[in-house]
Amino acid sequence: MTDREILQLQITACELRELILRALFNAKSGHPGGSLSIVEALTYLYKYEIRIDDPDSPDRDRLVLSKGHAVPALYAVLAMKGLMPISQLDTLRRIDSPLQGHPKLGSVPGIEMSTGSLGQGISVACGMALGAKIRGQKLRVYAVLGDGELQEGQVWEAIHFASHYSLNNLCLMVDWNNLQIDGYVDDVMNLRKMDDRFRANGFRTIVIDGHDFIELQAACSMFHQTKDRPTAVIMKTIKGKGVSYMEDAVEWHGKAPNEEEYKQAILELDQQISQLRRMNQEGTDVGGTQTGGMALGMMDLSDSKWDSMVLDSFARNSLAQRAAAEREMEQKALDDARQKEARIARERMMKINDTETAGGDGE
Ligand SMILES: Cc1ncc(C[n+]2csc(CCOP(=O)(O)OP(=O)(O)O)c2C)c(N)n1
Ligand SMILES: [Mg+2]
């Protein structure tokens, strides 16, 4: 990955955080902490790993969000990838919206399982991985779990299962933010050496900084190379990452920001975006394979909608603007439909008048 690509991903991550918080703010409820901690992981996976260009293809890769309460992050990434309109995020948690507070199978392309009852998603992911192997499909299955979720007994049955069947097409991504619903995981029920537990259970186990794109890339590449067993990527993360007052704060597990808090969060994220853009312009070395400063025209836009979206963000065409444009288009379509309806009604009235006139003449 080049410096330029890393900076783009970091900007995208900030923009996704803004989308998540906006959706929660509108909904007046939801789970910010655990959504914000998996933004880099989902960004990386959907940018480089998960083959889901045809979301109906039986051979697509699968991602099961086992920690279902963090679904605002997944909705935002799916919208970013073009699988649903960004403006739909504003309907989060509304009655009749497909975007409920926990994932519902089939509600939106890319939502592969209904989850929220912790421990169940990983079990389904194991079944998907085994099913794919039996059918000879080359697809990969990813399951994103919380560290608090690992306290569920069912998780460990699934881990034994994955190991027993050598599910080398399964990658568990564990969000190790050390917070649960009501306290530190270590205090609620200590998991001790979590990575050793995975190793003891026959997993290839990789511990990384879950906010670092280079480490995410390295972990995914190790997953690809592992042929004899499942992989667990333990991602050390910060719950509430990106918003100062939400970081590592248990009270931000499951509540929406009020107006003042929301404004503060957006301000902070906007500042992070500006700084990243400056670094990009200056060609700052951020540990990538080349220094930045590549001309926009040289970027490989190929087939990916994503790349052009990232490019959009560079062109200062922010996601908020895109969402506003989408809303404008929706409004225009609605206005057009109303005008068409009114025109038809007018024409019908004129016809009736004509008939009446004709009838009157005849009387
Ligand atoms: C079976 C089950 N028990 C309890 C809950 C309530 N609950 C929702 S989120 C949560 C904490 C999860 O912690 P963690 O997996 O670490 O998530 P994160 O820190 O990433 O938000 C709990 C206990 C649930 N959803 N399912
Ligand atoms: Mg946690």
Domain assignments of the chain as residue spans, ordered by start = 3-259, 318-363
pLDDT score recorded for residue 357 = 64
pLDDT classification of 310: cutoffs 50, 70, 90 = very low
Distance CA 191, CA 148 (A): 9
The pLDDT of residue 290 is: 53
For the chain, the average pLDDT equals 89
CA 178 to CA 237: how far, in whole Å? Answer: 8
Ligand closest to CA 146: 1
**Arithmetic mean of pLDDT, 329-357:** 80
Residue 309 has what pLDDT? Answer: 41
Lowest mean pLDDT among 26-40, 49-63, 322-336: 322-336
Which residue would you say has higher pLDDT here, 304 or 55? 55
Whole-structure pTM value:
0.83
Centroid of ligand 2 to alpha carbon of 181 (angstroms) = 8
Position with higher pLDDT, 352 vs 233: 233
For the Cβ of 34 lying below 6 angstroms from any atom of ligand 1, the answer is yes
Position 349 confidence tier, pLDDT thresholds 50, 70, 90? confident
- CA pair distance 285, 55, nearest whole angstrom: 36
Distance 35 CA to ligand 2 centre (A): 10
Across the range 40-52, mean pLDDT stands at: 97
- CA 67 to ligand 1 centroid distance, Å: 7
Q: Kindly state if the Cβ of 117 falls inside 6 Å of ligand 1.
A: yes
Residue with the smallest CA separation from ligand 1 atom 7 is 181
C-alpha to C-alpha distance for 120 and 319, rounded to whole angstroms: 33
Which long-range contacts link 320-323 to residues 24+ away (Cβ below 8 Å)?
Answer: 320/18, 320/22, 322/86, 323/86, 323/87, 323/89, 323/90
334 vs 252, which has greater pLDDT? 252
Mutate which of 149, 173, 190, 234 for ligand 1 pocket (most atoms within 8 A of beta carbon): 149
Q: What is the pLDDT of residue 359?
A: 56
**pLDDT tens-digit series, residues 64-118:** 999 999 999 999 999 999 999 999 999 999 999 999 999 999 999 999 999 999 9
Is the pLDDT at 292 greater than 90? The verdict is no
**Whether CATH 3.40.50.970 fits 3-259:** yes
Radius of gyration of the chain (CA): 24
Mean pLDDT of 246-258: 98
